[in-house]
Structure 1
Amino acid sequence: MKENFIWITNSFFICATALTPLFGQLCDIFGRRWVFLSIVALFTLGSGICGGATSVSMLIAGRAIQGAGSGGIVLTVNIIVSDLCPLRKRGQYMAIILAIFGIGVALGPFIRGVIADSTTWRWVFWINLPIGGVSFVIMFFLLRLSYKDDRSLMEKIKRIDVVGNAILMAGTVAILYSLTYAGSIYSWSSWHTLVPLILGFLGFALFAIFETSGFAPEPVMPIRLLKHRTSIIVLINTFLNSMVYLWYLYYLPVYFQAVALYSSSRAGYSLIPQALAGLPGAIIAAISLSRWGKFKSIHFVGFAFTTLGMGLFSMVGLHTSVADWAVFQIITALGIGIVIDTLLPAFQAPASEQDQAMATSTWGFFRAFGSIWGVSIPAAIFNNRIEEKLDTISDARARELLGGGGAYQQASAAFVTQFSPEVQLEVRELYASALDRSFWVGAIFAGLACAMVLLEREVPLRKELDTEYGLEKPNDNTHTDSEKAFNTEN
């Protein structure tokens, strides 16, 4: 059952990651509009399957479909924004989108906590059905994007890099399979962990060879995207930023519930400071990027704040005050917010306008791939620390439940308070020690990203837009006055 629990989460991440490059290529081949609408429908379908699941296998399948839709939505939104406005201005529009995202991040944990405390878990998924349905209808009527390709359906299908996508997906699946069980079910030195991990990275190497071989009709990740030093550095830091962000989001609630003993709903709204702080950081960074066109200093400041915040979180414990953890959240979220919407324009800058969709999907893959490691690496550190200090727990049943990778799953006030006061204190101190180690290592990764920024070179951000995509042209007779104004402005 513990293995099934893991895959309920990881099936989401694997599909959100593995399908990202394919979605980017489909946007070029079939146009942005129908790919986006199909992805919204996919996410809604996955949510419905999860909500109506009658078995763990059905829930895992629903999460996989939901993950594909979720990753695709984020990707296609970034691609569409890139089609609509020049590179210099993209940060501003992405910040607007992030503002909506920030509202969701702020309300999501609270709503989830209320649902967990008052009704069935199925509503965590069912709540997406009306939202997805309304979104689909609105986008169907209002999302009018240019796309002209007279080639037949078969000719378009032949453009898909089927082999490249298959190799990349297989490598991603193998690595995630390894990370799923590493440190919990199997040790990191076990062949169960090493074999799929090695095969996964060999798959990535094979993918790189195939993409540069000339056999792919249209490579899903053309090597020309990586010819600039800044492009490589930005991809590495995108990976690290995504990893640290998930690290922070996944393990902060563990502190609230297993150390501070907050209820699910209180733990949810205790995350509000990070949601509120991340948005101003993103807005300030976007305005700065648009005004001065320089991203290197923005990246350095953002990663410096993230490093400081993660380091401060390594000090949280049983007696940490509300003011302290709120300030720590604000510092960390401010750093992540500053960076989150300025990495993509930096990666897109060396790429041509014709390569923007592929550049965006490549960047999106590294961001999603970082999310996988952002769950797995801290889990390994967290579980290892739990195992190291498990003998400090005097209750045999508590030791059994916390060992073998079960500590994260058991992290709740209800679990801790079922034991005697003495054992409760031992369990809370054990969780605090594991979180201390985890956040400290997270600060090291954030510091590495901060150092990597020094290797970036500024690339001019284009002020003009030259693309065959974008809003429908006036002679399409389907545009509105507001669309004309938007085109004129950009």
Structure 2
Amino acid sequence: MGVEAISVRHAEIAPSARSLESSEQSLITTHAPAFVRATQYTYHDDPPNRLAWQPGVREWLVMTCISILVTMDAFNTTVVIPLMPGLADIFQQDLENALWISTSYLIGNASGQALFAMFAEILGAGPILLCSAVLATTGTGVCGGSLSLPVLVAGRFIQGMGGGGVLGISHLIVLDLIPPTHQVRFFSYVFRAQVVGIILGLVGGGVFDDYAAWIWAFYSSFVFCAMGMLVIPFALDLRGQGDGPKGTPTSRFRGMDWIGATLILPGLGCVMVGIGWGGTQFAWDSWQTLVPVCVGTSLLGLLVVYEAKWAAQPMFGARVFRDVSSSMLQMGGFLHGFIFSSQIHFVPVYLVLIQGLRATVTGVSLVTLTGLTLPTIVIAGALQHSGPVDLATWTIRIGWLISAAASGCFLLFDTTTPPPAWVFILLAAGLGHSLLTPGYYVSIQVHAPRDRARLSTSPILVHSILRTWGMCLAVPLSATVVTNSLSRTSIPYATHLASYLPEESKDAHTHALQVLWILMTVAVGLGGLSSLGIRRA
């Protein structure tokens, strides 16, 4: 009787239990997808049948934050370029000395990307990104208050360290926040912000030189600094939680590639100091030139050996250079940075000293080297996101081919070249850059390994660092080529407009720049050869 009662009771409860279970399943089925989309922030690997990922408010707020800061970094990189002839005249310095205003920023930028990216993995992206923005703001203040070239160079180095930290951490945030299948699209937003910052810097620098004091080129950067630091607390977690195992900050700190990241600064700095002094301040065979070159080369060689033999988790290790295709991608990024930096720093020398253009017109003219990159980045991101279309390899090869033709045409620049001719040549060079920039960043993403290794060893971050290395080396090496060519004619580097230069000085400057264009064409040829080793993913 008792057993029957229990059976009956179970039989009576079972329908309502089944009804309740069905109701709960219906509730979960209806509301779980919306809850997942609303709370998703950091991407983690899910089963193949995961729900389609959609960015939320937090993701767009983070992208807005890093886009503002990346724009600030690009603006700071290029705003001094139209000012360079005027700054050399103001500080009564030669070309190679004045160009350290740009070189010091790029050295700090390359070093900051590596160091701050590793700090971000230990302490979290939020507080380190805020520190980078504060450091860039501090450097901007030093530049704005400088009254001599050494102080300005020091301020630019501090500013570059902060900008490098912003750029490196931005790459890590996208890698951690966005699923791999969507990273090409969201990296395109970062590169769009870079291009916008470059254009604003080129045009703004010329305007400040002609219609205001040069110091406003640095004060204007405070706008980006303020906007970025205003958004950071709302976009990122500032509690200082890294992505590694919790509770072991010491072990995470010791596991990072601090020696490799630290060797970048003295190695690059010594090499560039020696190159900058060679043939101008000291003879090429003098100890003042040979010692820094040998020391810098030895430090970079030690970096290669350390990364290959002793580093526990190398930043420049086998994960980045695991095959010929990956190595050629990184080499191509280095060469592209070298060529772009050489052109954007020394085309103004031709436009100001030979063509006699004012700084504003020069800055607008330089937009031809960068403006076409913006639409091609948009198109590349859309094509790669819309389907399995891999056009990046051929985009790189066609970009190098166009760049080679444009670089050869640079040899036609002389005192009689009409404006339509040099505008067309600069547009062709800009078309080459517009294909190479998205081609490389898409190819790096397509070829990147899908493991869960440290983000600071990501190929896209190493590509950014090596590209900045190329930009660093291009400035002193190009300046040395030009000044050594001028020294053979006993004509000093001029800082005045073409209307104040005698024809003999114009011809000497034109010949010196043609030697540089030949060197640049050789570098483009090497870049084209490297593209042949990139396999189609």
**SS of residue matched to 2:357:** coil
Q: 1:259 to 1:71 in 2, by over 3 A?
A: same
1:18 CA drift (Å): 2.6
* Distance in 1 separating the partners of 2:288 and 2:383: 48
TM-score normalised by L of structure 1: 0.81
Residues of 2 paired with 1:252 and 1:346: CA distance?
Answer: 29
Q: Secondary structure at the match of 1:124?
A: helix
Match for residue 452 of structure 1?
530
Task: Indicate how the Cα distance of structure 1 residues 363 and 353 shifts in structure 2: closer, same or farther if over 3 A, else same.
Answer: farther
Letter aligned with residue 450 of structure 1: G
Moved more, 366-375 or 81-90: 81-90
Please report the RMSD computed on the Cα atoms of aligned residues, expressed in angstroms.
2.5
Tell me the TM-score normalized by structure 2: 0.75
C-alpha spacing 1:289/1:315, structure 2 compared with 1 (3 Å): farther
CA–CA separation in structure 2 for the residues paired with 1:187 and 1:235: 33
Instruction: Provide the residue aligned with 1:296 in structure 2.
Output: 393
Offset of residue 294 of structure 1:
4.4
CA distance in 1, matches of 2:270, 2:247: 36
CA contact (8 A) 1:286 1:342 kept: no
Residue 238 of structure 1: aligned partner? 333
> Who wins on radius of gyration, i.e. which is larger?
2
Secondary structure of the residue aligned to 1:342 is: helix
**Alignment partner of 1:44 out of 137, 142, 146:** 137
- 1:439 corresponds to: 517
Deviations 1:7-39 (A, max 9, x none): 433322221123322222223222222222221
> In the aligned structure 2, how far is the partner of 1:158 from the partner of 1:362?
20
Could you tell me the percent identity over the aligned residues?
22
Structure 1 residue 185 corresponds to structure 2 residue 292? no
Deviates most, 131-140 or 280-289: 280-289
In the alignment, which of 483, 491, 500 is matched to residue 418 of structure 1? 500
Instruction: Say if 1:25 and 1:358, in contact at 8 Å, map to a contact too.
Output: no
Given residue 247 of structure 2, which amino acid in structure 1 is its aligned partner?
R
1:351-370 superposed matches below 5 A: 351=449, 352-359=451-458, 360-370=460-470
Whichever residue aligns with residue 309 of structure 1, its letter is: A
More contact order relative to length (CA 8 Å, sep ≥ 6): 1
1:327 alignment counterpart: 424
> What amino acid is the match of 1:358?
T
In structure 1, C-alpha distance between the alignment counterparts of 2:227 and 2:313, rounded to whole Å: 35
Equivalences for 1:397-408 in 2 at 5 Å? 399=491, 402=492, 407=493
Secondary structure of the residue that 2:284 maps to in structure 1? coil
- Structure 1 residue 51, shift from structure 2 partner: 0.2
Per the TM alignment, residue 307 of structure 1 is displaced from its structure 2 partner at its CA by: 1.4
Q: How far did 1:301 drift?
A: 1.0
Structure 2 residue aligned with 1:137: 230
Other structure's SS at 1:234 match: helix
Output the amino acid matched with 1:440: I
Distance of aligned partners of 1:88 and 1:324 in 2 relative to their CA distance in 1, 3 Å threshold: farther
Q: Secondary structure at the match of 2:320?
A: helix
Contact 1:91 1:341 in 2 (8 A): no
Question: For residue 157 of structure 1, what is the amino acid of its counterpart?
Answer: F
Q: Is 2:104 the counterpart of 1:104? A: no
**1:171 maps to 2:267:** yes
- 449-458 vs 94-103, greater mean Cα deviation: 94-103
Name the counterpart of 2:477. 377
Hey, what's the Cα distance between the residues in 2 that align with 1:107 and 1:225? 33
- Using the TM superposition, give the Cα deviation of residue 74 of structure 1 relative to its aligned residue in structure 2, in angstroms: 2.3
Residue correspondence of structure 1 range 133-282 to structure 2 within 5 A:
133-143=226-236, 147-148=242-243, 149-214=245-310, 216=311, 218-282=313-377
Contact 1:23 / 1:361 at 8 angstroms: preserved in 2?
no
Deviation at 1:254, TM superposition (A): 0.9
What is the distance in 2 between the residues matched to 1:102 and 1:319? 32
Aligned to 2:508: 430
What is the distance in 2 between the residues matched to 1:81 and 1:94?
7
- Shift, 1:77, TM fit: 2.1
Matched residue, 2:17: none
Does the 8 Å CA contact 2:103/2:475 hold for their aligned counterparts? no
1:386 and 2:479 aligned: no
CA-CA distance at 1:217 after TM superposition: 5.0
Paired residue type of 2:499: T
Return the match for 1:342 from 405, 415, 439.
439
Question: 1:47–1:66: 8 Å Cα contact kept in structure 2?
Answer: yes
Q: Would the aligned equivalents of 1:187 and 1:193 in 2 still touch at CA under 8 Å?
A: yes
- Asked whether the 8 Å contact 2:407–2:521 carries over to 1, the reply is yes
How many Å separate the matches in 1 of 2:536 and 2:296? Answer: 33
Does the aligned pair in 1 maintain the 2:112–2:162 contact within 8 Å? no
Deviation at 1:153, TM superposition (A): 4.6
Worse-superposed segment, 221-230 or 153-162: 153-162
Unaligned segments of structure 1, at least 5 residues = 392-398, 460-490
Deviation string 1:190-234 (CA, Å, 9 cap, x unpaired) is: 3322222222222122223323444x4543433332222112111
Residues 13-72 of structure 1 show CA distances to partners (whole Å, capped at 9, x for unaligned) of: 221123322222223222222222221221111101110124443322211101112222
Counterpart of 2:406 in structure 1 is 309
The equivalent residue for 2:54 is: none
Report if aligned partners of 1:88, 1:293 keep a CA contact under 8 Å in 2.
no
Q: Does 1:57 align with 2:153?
A: no
Q: Tell me the secondary structure at the aligned position of residue 372 of structure 2.
A: helix
Q: Which residue of 1 aligns with 2:89?
A: none
* Helix, strand or coil at the partner of 2:335: helix
Return the alpha-carbon distance in structure 2 between the equivalents of residues 458 and 293 of structure 1. 8
